[in-house]
Structure 1
Amino acid sequence: MSSPAASTAAAGSIFRRFRRNRRGSAAVEFALVAPVFFALLFAIIETAIMFFASQVLETVTQNSARQILTGTAQSASYPDWSHFRDGVVCAQIPALFSCPKIYVDVKSYSAFSSVVINSQINASDNFDASTLSYSPGGPGDIVVVRLFYQWPLFVTGLGYNISNLSGNQRLLVATAAFQNEPY
């Protein structure tokens, strides 16, 4: 039978050898740092893609607004915003967006000072499409065209939350304000 002093010495020897051995320290350090690193990396990528999508939506809004500015949309006689979306906006949408999820609001005013832009996010943090309209106006009218898209977010569960809608979504909004040409 071994003495208690021998087993204590053997345990101390094992502990000293474990403490001196550094072969697995890089793996342990990486395991500690990796989750934070990847969460930050994915948050940066998601933010970049969202800003890119916002810029694409701005470009589509400007190009679609030009159809109203020149009177082309008025001569096409779209009955409501969904027909304008299907006829003009969706023809320009890249694969980045889903066309049925784009909402369009076109309102005309008599002067720039009478323009009122309300938030489309209600008190429950949901997108409110009930006030959307399609009124492209006539020659010389002031028109505000807004496109909305509910962009899904995935990294928000990791503590990085840029959503402004419920359900981990961000409402992307692009706006164009102009005075119609005398077509």
Structure 2
Amino acid sequence: MFLSVQNIGARLIRTATRRRRFLANESGVTAVEFAMLGLPFFVIIGAILETALIFFASQVLDSALNDSARLIRTGQAQAQNYNVNTFRGAVCSELYGLFDCKKLKIRVSKINDFSSAGLSSVIDPKTGKWKLVQSYDDGAANSIIMVEAYYKWPTMLDFFGFNLADLPDNTRLLSSVRVFRNEPF
């Protein structure tokens, strides 16, 4: 049981060699690095995709309302006796299937002048319920019209405090408004 100096030296060399081999071994390093960086990477990718999707949906809504408001401005909507549902259908036909059209809220109103075009709160900020009363008054020739469209867009990502929802029901309010004078049709 007596260890010789030679035995101790050989044992130290073997231990040092094993330690050096263990420290030099890089198998599994990629898996460990991915485990540390993978989750934040996918969270960032998800946040970028959700932000892009919300901006895209907002632009689509804005473009659809702009195109549909032209029907009012040129007198085509008045000639065809549009109402809220007919106008919503015109807007929805431009939305590429991104929106649930039953949830799209529309208000078309005649206003006295451009300076009286103001927006009111359409949603109760505490409950997330609609306060908007949908209406449709497309006026006559040369009337000043304000057209509003609102949609609650569902958000999906809620991770590490990143959430684009601005309403209590985990949705984001998308809106588009146009104010114009009808043409003399």
For normalisation by structure 1, the TM-score amounts to 0.84
- Matched residue, 2:91: 89
Name the SS of the counterpart of 2:141 in structure 1: coil
Aligned residue for 2:26, secondary structure, equals coil
Secondary structure at the counterpart of residue 97 of structure 1? coil
Q: 1:27-66 to 2 correspondence within 5 Å? A: 27-66=31-70
Deviation at 1:13, TM superposition (A): 7.9
Does the 8 Å contact 1:144/1:177 carry over to 2? yes
Match of 1:140 among 139, 142, 150: 142
Task: Report the AA paired with residue 149 of structure 1.
Answer: Y
Give the Cα separation in 2 of the matches to 1:174 and 1:155: 24
Q: Tell me how far 1:17 sits from its aligned partner.
A: 4.9
Contact 2:64–2:92 (CA under 8 A) maintained in structure 1: no
Ranges in structure 2 where 5+ consecutive residues have no aligned partner: none
2-side partners of 1:12 and 1:156: how far apart? 49
For residue 113 of structure 2, the aligned residue among 111, 114, 117 is 111
User: Structure 1: 5+ residue runs without aligned partners?
Assistant: none
1:117 is paired with a residue whose SS is: coil
Helix, strand or coil for the counterpart of 1:65?
A: helix
Q: Is the 8 A contact 2:125 2:168 kept in 1?
A: no
Q: SS at 2:158's partner residue?
A: helix
Following superposition, the deviation at residue 165 of structure 1 comes to: 1.5
Match for residue 168 of structure 2 among 166, 176, 179? 166
> How many residues in Structure 1 have an aligned counterpart in Structure 2?
177
Letter in 2 for 1:85: R
Larger radius of gyration: 2
Contact 1:148 1:171 in 2 (8 A): yes
**Counterpart code for 1:137:** G
Contact 1:127 1:165 in 2 (8 A): no
Q: TM-score, normalised by structure 2?
A: 0.83
| 3-state secondary structure, aligned to 1:105 | strand
Structure-2 separation of matches of 1:61 and 1:38: 34
Q: Percent identity?
A: 38
2:78 equivalent among 74, 79, 90: 74
